[in-house]
Structure formats: structure tokens, C-alpha cells
């Protein structure tokens, strides 16, 4: 008798936080069947000497709802050790849907999450109405990694109210219809319910997406229906200083009604005495036995500015005809354009007439501004992007050191990098010094990589590789056991995922074999592999010897094998299976 797979001589880091040890792992079918010393041979054996053997990583904030239709490998998440993803965050999903409403949902996803409308409409079969039928459809697509889905507030509201869902509040009867529809979606397999509370998420016509201004009564009714079928709650809340207290009160109301788990996006916000602004309310909820969790980026989240993205140094200025001309060129022609000294001088003169933005959102939405030089950081030309750099490496600091205008520095670095260079334009978690202690809090999990979304401007999907390469290997802030726990069991607890997240006999064989000395992110590259040749930013990883999903080796030496081991994990009365 042999095992299907044996991983030998690895440093086993089981995800619990307990000390690691050297040993073997045996897998039969989709299950771990032995740990420690395995005497039987495997039909396939992987030599893991010198590598860490860990559970597969869990990513709690993705928008892969559309991409599964044309990319069942779910790149780039699968390159970064991720074996289970939660999709359907932020209230935007493709189900439930009435036959004539798919265009509205596709356009909303494009506007909010930067996933092309035409790719969504042509890349998915749209052979569903209910959320359960949507899960049936993606199950047929045979994903490479495990997928868990939330049902979105916007889709359910639009299903019940139609166009009125955008600007009006539902009647009492409609509130009950929305709550019932979401409850049925959870009963049919959705892991829970997601909503959005921030006004920055807009429809193509500029209006806020359905549900943004939902009443407490509506959200409490939905929460009660979600919890009745064992579902969790997810929200993007207003985390600003003035709005946060009210948001915390609402979260408590929802949790008390649902009796379940609540996950919200929690970028660092400073409160009294330097503690996180969320902490007092979180502690109060925890003392009452409520299960509250927040997810945050383990590094600054940022837009990417460069010749190969939509964000150049400056756009939108009425008389900035040259910058607009550069932006309108095909990406492949932009480098040649700025090599022309006359054209480059015109760009510099226009840049000098621009005002630096306080926020990148100001740059995107108002005329006459450039990217903020003090918050834009050069990512370097090395093999690995340089995220944790200081003021000297900001666009403003580099310009002062060279005696240049920031616009001139931006163009010079684009030339020197042959058009490949990028600036990291930070907008949340800008102060990295607070993040190690913040992420140690029992209610905080790292993440918010937004895999599958913001494909032309943001690439944060490599957050797990960054946590290992920077916070563990380079800074030593976390031991290997602590870092792996944060990527695995701590994440799985949020989903109440019982059979994944740790390496134990009888649990599912979602496993990584990682060269910790090499693991890390690579620079984002522009590729054209979405339907209709639409471009996206794609970030590879290094150091992953193997990734195994349900016993099948889907990745070897940083490259996909073509195997697809993933499953659609559905809620079954509060249990994901």
C-alpha cells in the first residue's frame, strides 16, 4: 500500500501558532492522513528539505466573482499561496439577478471594482437567477482553488426594487422581501451577506450604489435573516473619525440580530492614546460575546502610477493637452513619446502649472492636479518591489535631491526604467510602523488584496507574500509560526472553516511548500488576457515550490501545473463544505 502523495523532510508549520518541527505529511485523496514520520511511500513524493510546509492561505477579501468565468486558475491569487478565497465582498455580486438586469450588475461592478463590463457580460454564462444557481454555474468551471461566496446587498436590493433601489428607501414590505431573498441565498449556499457603506463606491452615472444609505432597520432585518441560516456578515464601513462611532453602533445591532460573525474592512485609524480608533467598541462587543473581525492591508494600499497604468503624473487639467495626449496613447507607444525631448519639455511645463493633490482621489476627480509627491513612492528597478521606503524615496524627496520639479523626476524615472517603473501612491495604512502591533490584535486579520478587482490601477494581491518576506524574514516582527497562523488558521476562524486552515490528520489537504528565503512579490506587469483583450495588472510571486489544493498539486516552482483542485464551498446550515 502507498499514499497518494508524501511531502518529506519539510519544516512543518501547522498554522496553529505552535512550534514548527521537521517531518513528513501523507495525503490520500483530498485528506491529510499522516503527520510526522511517514514510512509508506507515496505514488508521488515531494522533497521539502529546507522549505516550510504550511496550510494553504485564506484570502478573505477578493472580487473574483467574474474572473472565474474565463480564468479558472484565478491568477494571481493562486501564485501567492492562496488556496481558499472569499468573493462577493463590498455588496457587489452577480446574483440574485432577473434576466434583464445583468447589464446593471455588470456596469456596477465595472464602476466600483474596475472589472470591464464587456468582459463580465461575455465571459460569464449568466445561466442563473438565484445565488445558489450562480454557485452551481461556477462549480462547473472547475476552479483551481476553493471559492466561498457572499451574496451582495446591491444585487438583492435591485432584484426587489428595480431602479428605485438606487435612490429610494424600501417600504416595510420590501425590506422583508430583501431580507427573505438574502436569507434564501444563504440557505442555498452563500457564506453570508455583504454590504457597502462608503459613498466613494459609485455607479457609472455618479450615483451611489444600492444599499449605501440603507437604514439601520433594513440592515438589521437582513442580518437576522442571514444569521437564521448560519451566514456571516461583511461590510465596507465609513471609518472616518466622525462617522466611525455610528458605524460601530450599527455593527453591534447587526451582530445582536444575527448571532453570527461580522467582518469589516479596517484600515488603520488612530484613536485616543495612539490606539486604534476601533478598539473601544471592539472590546465592548467582544466582552458581550459578539464575534467581530476586521481585515487590513499589511502594507500601504496604493494606486500605481506609471506609463503602463491609467494614472500618470497629471491628468484632467483643462489646458494639459500634452498629458492627456500621452494618456490617450496605447501603453506600448508612451515610452517612445516621452523620448522626444520637445514633447517631454511640454509635459514638464504643464506639470509645473499643476497643483499637487492631497489625495489621489482628488487627482482622479478634479482638474489641475498631479499625484501627491509626498505620498508617491518609487518602487525601484530590483527584482522585488520596494514598498517600505521612506520620505527620501518619495517623488517629492527624489525631486528635491535632484533639483527637479516632481513632474520632471517622474518622466526621468520612466525613461531610466524603459517604461516599466512604477510609483506607489499610498492612500491607506500609510504609517507602516503601527501595523505589526495592530495585526497582532485577536480581531484583526491581514488581507484586502482585492484579487480580481481594480485591475488597471491597483495591485495589492501579493499581500501574503509581502507579510512573509518583509514582516517575517526582513524585519523579524513575527516568527514563522506567528506569520503562518495569521495567513491560515486566523483567517479560517473568520469563516468558521472547520476542515482547513491547519495541518492535522483528517483535514483537507490544502498545503504550501515554501522557500522562505526566496518568497516575495514581483513587480506588477501589464498583460492583455481578459476577454476582448482587455488589459490588467498582474503580479507574480517567487518562492512557492508547491501549492496543493484538496490533494492536487496545482503549482510547482512558481508555475501552474494545469491541475485544478478547487471546490465551491457552500454554507450548509452554518458549516462550509
User: SS3 for 234?
Assistant: strand
Pairing status of strand 376-378 against strand 423-428: antiparallel
Confidence of residue 354 (pLDDT cuts 50, 70, 90): confident
Proportion of the chain above pLDDT 90, given as a percent: 92
pLDDT tens, residue by residue, 509-555: 999 999 999 999 999 999 999 999 999 999 999 999 999 999 999 99
pLDDT at 317: 60
The per-residue b/e assignment along 186-208, b for 16 or more CB within 10 angstroms, e otherwise, is bbbbbbbbbbbbbeebebeeeeb
Instruction: Write down the residue that cell numbers 518562492 correspond to.
Output: 543
Other Cβ atoms within 10 Å of 560 Cβ, number: 15
What's the rounded mean pLDDT across residues 16-45? 98
**pLDDT above 90 (res 240):** no
pLDDT tens, residue by residue, 116-127: 999 999 999 999
pLDDT tens, residue by residue, 312-351: 997 666 668 899 899 999 999 999 999 999 999 999 999 9
pLDDT at 361: 63
Element (H, E) at 426: strand 423-428
Of 214, 207, 234, the residue nearest 112 (C-alpha) = 207
CA angle, 216 then 222 then 227, to 5°? 120
Other Cβ atoms within 10 Å of 299 Cβ, number: 23
**pLDDT above 70 (res 363):** no
Please, what are the domains in the chain?
57-299+430-541 (3.20.20.140), 305-428 (no CATH)
How would you class 430 by CB atoms within 10 Å of its CB: exposed for 0-12, middle for 13-18, buried for 19 or more? middle
Of 377, 63, 13, 9, the residue nearest 236 (C-alpha) = 63
Cα separation, 306 vs 303, in Å, equals: 10
Q: What is the pTM of this model?
A: 0.97
Strand partners, 559: 556
pLDDT tens, residue by residue, 51-110: 999 999 999 999 999 999 999 999 999 999 999 999 999 999 999 999 899 999 999 999
Cα separation, 209 vs 430, in Å, equals: 27
pLDDT at 23: 98
pLDDT at 97: 98
Other Cβ atoms within 10 Å of 172 Cβ, number: 10
pLDDT at 391: 94
Of 216, 219, 147, 227, the residue nearest 186 (C-alpha) = 227
Cα separation, 265 vs 444, in Å, equals: 10
Confidence of residue 362 (pLDDT cuts 50, 70, 90): low
| Phi–psi pair at 314, nearest 5 degrees | -155, 140
pLDDT at 123: 97
Please check whether residue 388 is in contact with residue 424, taking contact to mean a CB–CB distance below 8 angstroms: no
Q: What is the chain's mean pLDDT, rounded?
A: 96
pLDDT at 283: 97
Q: CA 442: distance to chain centroid?
A: 20
User: Helix count (H) and strand count (E) of the chain?
Assistant: 19, 29
Selected residue with higher pLDDT from 22 and 324: 22
- First-to-last CA distance in the chain? 29
**pLDDT above 80 (res 369):** no
Confidence of residue 445 (pLDDT cuts 50, 70, 90): very high
The per-residue b/e assignment along 493-504, b for 16 or more CB within 10 angstroms, e otherwise, is bbbbbebbbbbe
Amino acid at each position: 500500500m502507498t499514499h497518494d502523495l508524501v511531502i518529506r523532510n519539510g519544516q512543518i508549520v501547522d498554522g496553529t501558532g505552535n512550534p514548527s518541527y521537521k517531518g513528513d505529511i501523507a495525503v490520500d485523496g483530498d485528506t491529510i492522513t499522516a503527520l510526522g514520520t511517514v514510512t509508506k511511500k507515496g505514488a508521488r513524493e515531494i522533497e521539502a528539505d529546507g522549505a516550510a510546509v504550511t496550510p494553504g492561505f485564506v484570502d478573505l477579501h477578493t472580487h473574483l466573482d467574474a474572473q472565474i468565468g474565463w480564468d479558472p486558475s484565478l491568477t494571481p491569487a493562486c501564485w501567492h499561496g492562496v488556496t481558499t478565497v472569499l468573493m462577493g465582498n463590498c455588496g457587489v455580486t452577480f446574483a440574485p439577478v432577473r434576466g434583464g438586469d445583468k447589464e446593471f450588475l455588470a456596469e456596477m461592478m465595472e464602476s466600483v471594482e474596475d472589472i470591464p463590463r464587456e468582459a463580465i457580460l461575455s465571459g460569464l454564462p449568466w445561466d442563473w437567477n438565484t445565488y445558489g444557481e450562480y454557485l452551481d454555474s461556477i462549480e462547473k468551471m472547475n476552479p483551481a482553488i476553493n471559492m466561498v461566496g457572499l451574496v451582495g446587498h446591491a444585487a438583492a436590493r435591485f432584484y426587489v426594487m428595480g431602479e428605485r433601489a438606487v435612490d429610494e428607501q424600501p417600504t416595510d414590505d420590501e425590506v422583508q422581501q430583501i431580507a427573505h431573498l438574502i436569507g434564501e441565498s444563504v440557505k442555498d449556499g452563500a457564506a453570508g451577506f455583504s454590504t457597502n457603506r462608503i459613498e466613494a463606491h459609485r455607479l457609472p452615472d455618479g450615483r451611489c450604489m444600492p444599499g449605501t444609505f440603507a437604514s439601520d432597520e433594513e440592515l438589521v432585518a437582513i442580518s437576522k435573516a442571514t444569521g437564521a441560516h448560519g451566514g456571516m456578515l461583511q461590510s465596507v464601513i465609513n471609518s472616518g473619525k466622525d462617522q466611525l462611532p455610528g458605524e460601530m453602533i450599527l455593527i453591534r445591532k447587526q451582530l445582536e440580530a444575527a448571532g453570527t460573525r461580522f467582518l469589516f474592512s479596517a484600515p488603520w485609524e488612530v484613536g485616543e492614546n495612539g490606539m486604534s480608533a476601533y478598539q473601544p467598541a471592539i472590546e465592548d462587543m467582544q466582552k458581550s460575546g459578539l464575534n467581530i473581525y476586521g481585515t487590513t492591508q499589511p502594507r500601504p494600499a496604493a494606486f500605481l502610477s506609471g506609463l503602463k497604468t491609467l494614472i500618470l503624473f497629471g491628468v484632467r487639467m483643462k489646458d494639459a493637452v500634452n498629458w492627456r495626449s500621452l494618456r490617450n496613447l496605447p501603453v506600448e507607444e508612451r515610452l517612445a513619446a516621452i523620448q522626444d525631448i520637445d514633447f517631454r519639455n511640454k509635459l514638464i511645463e504643464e506639470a509645473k502649472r499643476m497643483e499637487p493633490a492631497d489625495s489621489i482621489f482628488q487627482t482622479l476627480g478634479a482638474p489641475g492636479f498631479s499625484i501627491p509627491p509626498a505620498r508617491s513612492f518609487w518602487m525601484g528597478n530590483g527584482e522585488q518591489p520596494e514598498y517600505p521606503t521612506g520620505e527620501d524615496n518619495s517623488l517629492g524627496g527624489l525631486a528635491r535631491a535632484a533639483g527637479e520639479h516632481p513632474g520632471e523626476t517622474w518622466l526621468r524615472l520612466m525613461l531610466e526604467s524603459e517604461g516599466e517603473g512604477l510609483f506607489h501612491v499610498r492612500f491607506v495604512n500609510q504609517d507602516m510602523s503601527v501595523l505589526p502591533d495592530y495585526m497582532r490584535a485577536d480581531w484583526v486579520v491581514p488581507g484586502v488584496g482585492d484579487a480580481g478587482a481594480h485591475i488597471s490601477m491597483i495591485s495589492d494581491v501579493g499581500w501574503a507574500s509581502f507579510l512573509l518576506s518583509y514582516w517575517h524574514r526582513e524585519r523579524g516582527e513575527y516568527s514563522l509560526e506567528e506569520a503562518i497562523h495569521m495567513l491560515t488558521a486566523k483567517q479560517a476562524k473568520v469563516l468558521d472553516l472547520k476542515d482547513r486552515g491547519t495541518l492535522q490528520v483528517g483535514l483537507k489537504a490544502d498545503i504550501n511548500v515554501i522557500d522562505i528565503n526566496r518568497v516575495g512579490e514581483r513587480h506588477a506587469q501589464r498583460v492583455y488576457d481578459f476577454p476582448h483583450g482587455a488589459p490588467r495588472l498582474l503580479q507574480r510571486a517567487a518562492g512557492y515550490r508547491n501549492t496543493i489544493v484538496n490533494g492536487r498539486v496545482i503549482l510547482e516552482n512558481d508555475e501552474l501545473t494545469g491541475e485544478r483542485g478547487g471546490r465551491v464551498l457552500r454554507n450548509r446550515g452554518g458549516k462550509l463544505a
